[in-house]
Structure 1
Amino acid sequence: MGTPAGAAASMAGGRPRRRVHRAWLVAGVTFLVLLASAAFRSSLGVMLVPIEEDLGWSRTETSIAVSLNLIVYGVAAPFAAALLERIGVRRTAVAALLLIALGCLASTVMTAPWQLSVLWGLVIGVATGSVALVFGAIVVNRWFVARRGLVLGILGAAWATGQLVFLPLLAAIVDEFGWRAASLAIAGCCAALVPVVAVVLRDRPSDVGLEPYGGIDDEAAAVVPQTAGAAVVHAVTVLREVLRTRSFLLLAGTFFVCGWTTNGIISSHFVPAAHDHGMQATTAAGLLAVVGIFDIVGTIGSGWLTDRYDPRLLLSVYYALRGVALLAVPALLGPTVEPPMLVVVALFGLDWVATVPPTVVLCRTAFGPERGGIVFGWVFAAHMIGAGVAAAASGALRASSGDYTSAWLLAGALAVAAAVGSLLLPRPVTASVPGPARR
């Protein structure tokens, strides 16, 4: 690999000095963008109670903003590719980071609940949704031929874990300096990333006279990029075609529950629920960071299992275990962290994103490689809609009853229902492919 100029690189001790391919720098910056956007999207969870206490707003009013944020974030997924095709990877990342920064800055002078919904629900929801998993996948597909799976796994971990591991730091800032300081810190981090993105990211390797890492991708070279309008129309057309199939309804329905039982109630309401039981916000956020750490193990392990076992059975087990953990939460929350609570937190982490590999495989086997990716985009949208509905519903249940017990029980029951629904999915069949031997 490399150019003639690279082959004639400067000599050190008689040995040519090998240069790091720019693809790895691009992947590193993409990792930071995904990590930051995921962390900042979920940060409202640790600021919810301080905002309510400071501004006198109710849990129902603030939960609307959380719900809107999750829904907008998810619905952006099927159309993110169209945006990236229209304005490019670098411009999309810069625009998203600036929008997050501006939204956070503006939130420090809020005076009404509807402003929280506009800033965190719409502005930050659109911005973070534009640089989520689809963004990372497009960067990897353009810049890597070799090591694609490895880099996709690393970026996926950044997206999933970034939602949780920074919460203790943000909670500490909130405790020490107030929620406005945390909002300003987020804005500062986004602003600091902008010049890094502008310098390193490029839309394609050819923009800087390079080939992708690992050589030319013949399949990618043969594809003529769609216009943004055509991409949007195609995404809607695929949805219309699959909407009435049992496979899509079950996949979307179970992933709706997945969103309800993760981002919807745990990310958005675990810290406020722990606060109701006398637990410090930093302690509760620390438990969510533990969820993020176990998630890395669970995601990698689930990918390994998905290659070897029926993905329907894996989904059923994941949802059943999650249901048991959710049903146990009301009895375990208290001012201190006891060992049974740590077991529940570990279960949350191990199957937090473990549902993704089997769901992706089922989308592909049910709808084919051409439509499977777009179908998963819509299934992911259902995931975030479920999260958004759960955020609002859980807040309303807490406001009406005075605690979160009914919200935890409802989430646990839905997870058990998803475990049953997973078994009703059609058995995945790997079709024989004529021509060259399958890899």
Structure 2
Amino acid sequence: MTTTPAPAPSTLGGIHRAWWVAAITMAALVAAAGFRSSTGALLEPLEHEFGWSRATTSGAVSLNLIIYGLTAPFAAALMERFGVRRVTAAALTLVAVGSGLTLLMTSAWQLWLLWGFAVGIGTGSLALVFGAIVANRWFFRHRGLVIGVFSAASSTGQLVFLPAIAHLADGPGWRWAAGLVALFALALVPLVWWLLRDRPSDVGALPYGAPEGHVEKESSSTRGAASVALGTLRSVSGSWTFWVLFGTFWVCGWSTNGLIGTHFIPAAHDHGMPATTSANLLALIGIFDIVGTIASGWLTDRVDSRYLLCGYYFFRGLSLLAVNWLLGPHVHPSLFIFILFYGLDWVATVPPTVALCRQHFGLERAGVVFGWVFAAHMVGAGVAASYAGWIRQSQGDYFLAWLTAGGLCLIAAVACLSIPRITRPAAVPSN
């Protein structure tokens, strides 16, 4: 006679299980962001030891970013098919294996395989799409705020891990830094298996804040991840809302990771600012980003997401149009104001974008839809990084790159207002 294991309790320590799930989700997001950002600190040590060129090492990083972005919609489909807990544990294990095996590598192709594919797929499976799925399933109330906290975890990961990784790479050696990433990822696996659950119904609970009688929609899809991801893309490809979100998040990636994240330090150096000073300013952007994204999540629960996105892109565009005149050898108050605003606005677009995916495409498809939107973000970042580098090489400065990004943000602001208003919750289609 077989017995069914008793479900895990709906509370731990008197605290609703949703908050424990949120805590381990944030830990995984923080770790994934730290792992992804660690590659930049390891470029020069690898080049010095193996004699590889910057094109070789940066090519592995570029592959990592592309794989990271394109993994998101398929990871979301895998989570729908096999469960969030299993996919998260597998992704962390893949990151640990990918980073750990770099200790043994001797050839450049191994770097591309481990950094580009293994770490890229692993961290891509733990991107913001993962946080969006958890927030949508586990929280009926405070969804926007929780997504804001998850979004801020990306900045927190860089702030927590990058200094330690850089210190290890500069001291004991890059292998210690890679080993730290592998051990931390592996240490999270049992915690994920213990605390994370796929849905509130797995522990006999309702989403946090859900009223009595709330019925949770269970996914009945048995299709493969590729079929679900591509099928979802086909089904929403006729939606104007999808393409507005896709295009505006492409602009978001262009104007953040692609332009500021990649080229702010060399652009500031062109104006006479020391690299250490501009790097500290980028760190400040990361600190302010935590505050801004959480605040954006709070606002998303209270304000029409279309208007929030319009405001974020509009003021970001104005700031990018002005930044060329703000850069100089020293940090003047006007430049500090730019850093403050840009930090608050860095990924403030995430909570309202996730909310619009949920409102227009239903709770069950929201994760995969946002996965495709997030992929656009990373592709936009990659295109912008190359475009801005080409502008600098051909024109001698970044002026046209700033103007292009500012203009794209203003166009995105207007486009957000064309998204139709949802007056009732979107129906959830069956798969």
The separation in 2 between residues aligned to 1:105 and 1:273, in whole angstroms, is: 35
Corresponding residue of 1:252: 246
Corresponding residue of 2:421: 429
For these two proteins, the number of residue pairs brought into alignment is: 415
- Which deviates the most, 23-32 or 298-307? 298-307
Q: In the TM superposition, what are the counterparts of 1:17-416 in structure 2 within 5 Å? A: 19-145=14-140, 148-204=143-199, 220-229=215-224, 232-243=226-237, 245-268=239-262, 270=264, 279=274, 285-303=279-297, 311=305, 314-323=308-317, 325-326=319-320, 339-363=333-357, 374-393=368-387, 405-406=397-398, 409-410=400-401, 412-416=403-407
Deviations 1:88-114 (A, max 9, x none): 333322222222122222334444444
Percent of residue pairs identical: 53
Cα pair distance change 1:297/1:58, threshold 3 Å: same
In the TM superposition, residue 145 of structure 1 has moved relative to its aligned partner by: 5.0
The separation in 2 between residues aligned to 1:272 and 1:49, in whole angstroms, is: 17
The separation in 2 between residues aligned to 1:175 and 1:59, in whole angstroms, is: 18
In the TM superposition, residue 83 of structure 1 has moved relative to its aligned partner by: 1.7
Contact 2:145-2:296 at 8 Å conserved across structures: no
Matched AA of 2:405: L
- Which deviates the most, 243-252 or 34-43? 243-252
Cα pair distance change 1:280/1:75, threshold 3 Å: same
Contact 2:149-2:294 at 8 Å conserved across structures: no
The separation in 1 between residues aligned to 2:425 and 2:338, in whole angstroms, is: 43
Cα pair distance change 1:319/1:401, threshold 3 Å: same
Deviations 1:310-361 (A, max 9, x none): 6555445433443455566667667875655433322321111122234345
Contact 1:258-1:415 at 8 Å conserved across structures: no
Task: Please report the TM-score for the alignment, with normalisation by the length of structure 2.
Answer: 0.78
Contact 1:60-1:396 at 8 Å conserved across structures: no
In the TM superposition, residue 420 of structure 1 has moved relative to its aligned partner by: 1.9
Query: Tell me, what secondary structure is at the counterpart of 1:419?
Result: helix
Deviations 1:23-70 (A, max 9, x none): 433322222111111221122233334444554444443333232222
Query: Tell me, what secondary structure is at the counterpart of 1:43?
Result: helix
Matched AA of 1:254: T
Matched AA of 1:431: T
The separation in 1 between residues aligned to 2:93 and 2:227, in whole angstroms, is: 28
Runs of 4+ in 1 over 6 A off after TM superposition: 272-278, 307-310, 330-336
Cα pair distance change 1:153/1:421, threshold 3 Å: closer
Contact 2:320-2:405 at 8 Å conserved across structures: no
Matched AA of 1:33: A
In the TM superposition, residue 153 of structure 1 has moved relative to its aligned partner by: 3.5
Cα pair distance change 1:318/1:165, threshold 3 Å: farther
Cα pair distance change 1:265/1:299, threshold 3 Å: same
In the TM superposition, residue 368 of structure 1 has moved relative to its aligned partner by: 6.3
Contact 2:132-2:367 at 8 Å conserved across structures: no
Task: Please report the TM-score for the alignment, with normalisation by the length of structure 1.
Answer: 0.77
The separation in 1 between residues aligned to 2:211 and 2:300, in whole angstroms, is: 29
